[in-house]
Structure 1
Amino acid sequence: MDYIYFLANASLTLRVIEYLQRKYDSSLCSMTVIHQINGWIIKIKFKQPLTPEEHGNFKAFMNELGIPYELEIRLQMVFWSLETGQSPIDVMSRYQVAIVSHGSPDSSDIEAFRQQFTRGLGYCPETLA
């Protein structure tokens, strides 16, 4: 099952990654993170269905941090392209999106993006806090 959420900032995105690493074997799920000017879109896909209890707990955790997100057609195409094995760089170029991370949940991707973006701007926007 796929879980797609909108998160307000990088700190919340990092908390999700921390939670996934603590609760689940990283080989059991994948995560795609997209940065937008107003926040972060994350898609978490588990390779095996969660038990009803795990599903409830996971949704409760995610609902505390963000809001479920209904994808517009362009983002549906982005996620579909990634799932079919297309290169994140090609997908970013084609759809003009910032794919920060794709694959196993990894906080270093988020941190590196945040540092490079902030360095380029000279300040830290709210979504990168």
Structure 2
Amino acid sequence: MDYIYHLSNASLTLRIVQYLHEYANLPMQFMTVIHQVDGWVVRVTMAIPLTAQQEGDFRAYLNELGFPYTPSISLKMALWALETGQSMVEVMRRYQVAIVSHGRPDRADIEEFRKQFIQGLGYCPETLA
């Protein structure tokens, strides 16, 4: 089961990573984090379906932070390519997307991306706050 959400900034994305680490009882298979000009796209894929209670709780949490997102065809293809084991670099080149993280949720990947992006720009855009 996939949960694909759009979030407005990096802090909200980091909150999802923290939530997934704290609630290790969720059967998460992988998480993909993509940065876009207007925010972040987060895809959380579960290894097995959640119980009704787990799904309700998880969706409620995600809805507090962002909104369900329907990716474009190009982004769907990029997500599929990652799922089939293609390298992040190859997928980024082919589909022109900024993949920040794929696999186990890692706070350090997101924070490092944010740091390097801000250094390159010389200021902090709202999406990286």
1:114 counterpart = 2:90: no
1:45 counterpart = 2:36: no
Contact 1:100 1:109 survives alignment (8 Å): yes
3-state secondary structure, aligned to 2:100: strand
3-state secondary structure, aligned to 1:42: strand
RMSD (Å) for aligned C-alpha atoms: 1.2
Contact 1:33 1:42 survives alignment (8 Å): yes
After TM superposition, list the pairs within 5 Å mapping 1:97-108 onto structure 2: 97-108=97-108
Q: Distance in 1 between matches of 2:8 and 2:38?
A: 7
Q: CA deviation at 1:49?
A: 1.4
Q: Distance in 2 between matches of 1:30 and 1:43?
A: 8
Q: CA deviation at 1:116?
A: 0.3
Q: CA deviation at 1:30?
A: 1.0
Aligned residue pairs total 129
Question: Normalised by the size of structure 1, how large is the TM-score?
Answer: 0.96
Ranges in structure 2 where 5+ consecutive residues have no aligned partner: none
Q: Distance in 2 between matches of 1:4 and 1:14?
A: 15
Q: Distance in 2 between matches of 1:60 and 1:4?
A: 13
3-state secondary structure, aligned to 1:117: helix
Q: Distance in 2 between matches of 1:5 and 1:58?
A: 12
Contact 2:31 2:102 survives alignment (8 Å): yes
1:127 counterpart = 2:127: yes
1:76 counterpart = 2:76: yes
Ranges in structure 1 where 5+ consecutive residues have no aligned partner: none
Any runs of at least 4 consecutive aligned residues in structure 1 with deviations exceeding 4 A, and if so which? none
Q: Distance in 2 between matches of 1:26 and 1:47?
A: 9
Report the identity percentage.
Answer: 59
Question: Normalised by the size of structure 2, how large is the TM-score?
Answer: 0.96
